[in-house]
Structure 1
Amino acid sequence: MVRILSIFLASILVAFAYNAFLLPHKVLSSGISGIAMMIGLLTPVNTGIVNLALNLPLLIIGFYKLGKRFMFYTIFSVAVTSVALLYIPIRPLVTDPILSSVFGGVLVGVGTGFIFRAEGSGGGFDIIAFLLTRKKEFPLGTLMFGLNAAVLLFAGFLFTWDAALYTLLSIYVTGKIIDAIHTIHVKLTLMIITSKGEEVKNRLLSNLVRGITVVDGEGAFTKEKRKVLFMIISRYELVTVKRLIKETDPHAFVNIMETVEVMGYFRRNDSN
């Protein structure tokens, strides 16, 4: 229920950013949303209807190829955003297009970031990205850059190059905000030194789906025997892990390091 409410509010926030900051100044978003906004500006058709129509084929494909829970949250997000675009008036809150680009990008980033954190997506090219990430050899970054570049080019030719540059600014800000909120891709390596190795290990294994490597250790000065536990977690799990360790062994020494890369199997989430 919390995730549904989070996606609902975040989707409304995205729609509000479109109609109150971006669309009034012909500033576009990236991907399918940007194309929908472009069509909405050039035709009498509401952006919400166009957004839903363009997303529909991708939603159908994603439903069969991706996890059902993920697609349920994604469909819900697209539906809420599209309906909100119909009812929120397109009325600028500020007259400065630079301010609109920045704050609109911030709001879109915040909304999209929380949708990602709730294990959903905003649809569109996000679905394509999730599908293509299963093929490691596919140049996903090149594809996403090309799609966004196409939106920028169309914005420049159809409107003005000022609008294209404002769009670039908005997309950049949105990306930075999403990266700050959606940090599941950040991995952490924990080295836990404890005199209660078996208890800490069992407590962690019973609450997390993570592997743990246990080695014997000895204090250089005290000569006391310790267990050293190594594990890799996502940043989301850090608060839980710290609590579990502290409850089991308040005197445990824990070294937390950000991990650059993980080779081999690492369970990303429990959504599928």
Structure 2
Amino acid sequence: MNRIPYVPTISKPVKASLKPMQEVGIILISALLVAAGLNLFLIPHQLLSGGVTGVASIIGYVTGWNISVVYFLLNVPLILWGWKAVGRRYIVLSCISVVSTTWFIAIIPVISITKDPILGAVFGGIISAAGIGASLRVGGSTGGFDILGSIVTRKRDVPMGNILFLMNGVVILALGFFQSWDLALCSMLSTFVKGRVVDMIHVGHIKVTCFIITKEKDQMLCQLRKLHHGITCIHSEGGYSEQDNYTLMTVTTRYELAAVRKTVIQTDPTAFMNVVQSTEILGRFARPKL
């Protein structure tokens, strides 16, 4: 007799929700940081931040065209693609980010904060990455290669910073051919710093395994099933107390860990939970939608 595999009905994930206006506010601050990193640190030294911004900068350096306008035009086809591949909410927030970044780039004066291109590369990368990471945390992006990176991270457990570094490296190599290898190497330093900072902020690719020991199995299962991921239930016994209990194991993302912790505390304040970072996952894993 053939058994029909059981496919659980997984409800919509519970997220640490922000009000729409709070999300838009964070997106605007993110756009300001990206534009400030460009106009105050990178563009004065003709350095690239990589991505579509870098492509727009190369075109602006070579042709003299307005970088903010070129940046906006290059983002249009990527946004249209992302609307279909990623989702409406993500792209709406990304559109707000692209438009506001374009505006901030246009109004912030290009002023050299430091005369040292290495310092400009490092701090320009840090400030821009803070904006990119904050935008990704609320479910948006700064457009361009961030959209491509978000599509990849939905399919593979690859750090966003690594993806951006690889894609941006190709753009920066073009700077070496068009202008100067010294500028290209400084730009590569900026991109490396930016990738590391983005990975510190955007941790959606990091998976954790939660082991929850509780006597309130039924109530705990009822609540944890609302949190998007499957659960394994193991009958266990306390080695010291010799009392029967249950160990519930579930794998989630670092973003969703706060929701799991809150659920455990509210359902059984006496429960014991151990969280371990997962280095590799094989098999089905329900990835939260953007």
% same residue: 37
1:111-190 alignment, distance < 5 Å: 111-131=131-151, 147-190=167-210
What residue in structure 1 maps to residue 47 of structure 2?
A: 27
1:38 aligns with 2:33: no
1:67 aligns with 2:87: yes
SS of residue in 2 equivalent to 1:94? coil
CA distance in 2, matches of 1:114, 1:100: 21
- Cα shift readout 1:56-102 (whole Å, capped 9, x = no counterpart): 11212222333111111111111111111111111111111111110
Query: Which sections of structure 1, spanning at least 5 residues, go unmatched?
Result: none
What residue in structure 1 maps to residue 127 of structure 2?
A: 107
Q: Aligned to 1:258, which of 268, 271, 277?
A: 277
CA distance in 2, matches of 1:14, 1:77: 10
What residue in structure 1 maps to residue 6 of structure 2?
A: none
Amino acid across the alignment from 1:240: A
CA apart distance, 1:240: 2.5
Q: May I ask how many residue pairs the two structures share in their alignment?
A: 267
* Residues 30, 148 of structure 1: 8 Å contact kept: yes
* Residues 33, 51 of structure 1: 8 Å contact kept: yes
SS of residue in 2 equivalent to 1:183? coil
CA distance in 1, matches of 2:181, 2:88: 41
CA distance in 2, matches of 1:239, 1:149: 35
* Residues 165, 195 of structure 2: 8 Å contact kept: no
1:223 aligns with 2:242: yes
CA distance in 2, matches of 1:205, 1:260: 24
Q: Aligned to 1:239, which of 258, 264, 284?
A: 258
CA apart distance, 1:198: 1.6
* Residues 74, 122 of structure 1: 8 Å contact kept: yes
What residue in structure 1 maps to residue 211 of structure 2?
A: 191
TM-score by length of 1: 0.90
CA apart distance, 1:143: 8.6
CA distance in 1, matches of 2:82, 2:264: 39
SS of residue in 1 equivalent to 2:256? helix
* Residues 146, 164 of structure 2: 8 Å contact kept: no
* Residues 68, 102 of structure 2: 8 Å contact kept: yes
SS of residue in 2 equivalent to 1:236? coil
CA apart distance, 1:261: 1.8
- Cα shift readout 1:206-241 (whole Å, capped 9, x = no counterpart): 4x1221111211123432110110001111122222
Amino acid across the alignment from 1:256: V
CA distance in 1, matches of 2:92, 2:104: 18
- Cα shift readout 1:90-143 (whole Å, capped 9, x = no counterpart): 11111111111100000111100111111112222233344456777xxx9999
CA distance in 1, matches of 2:170, 2:262: 47
CA apart distance, 1:34: 0.5
What residue in structure 2 maps to residue 211 of structure 1?
A: 230
* Residues 26, 159 of structure 1: 8 Å contact kept: no
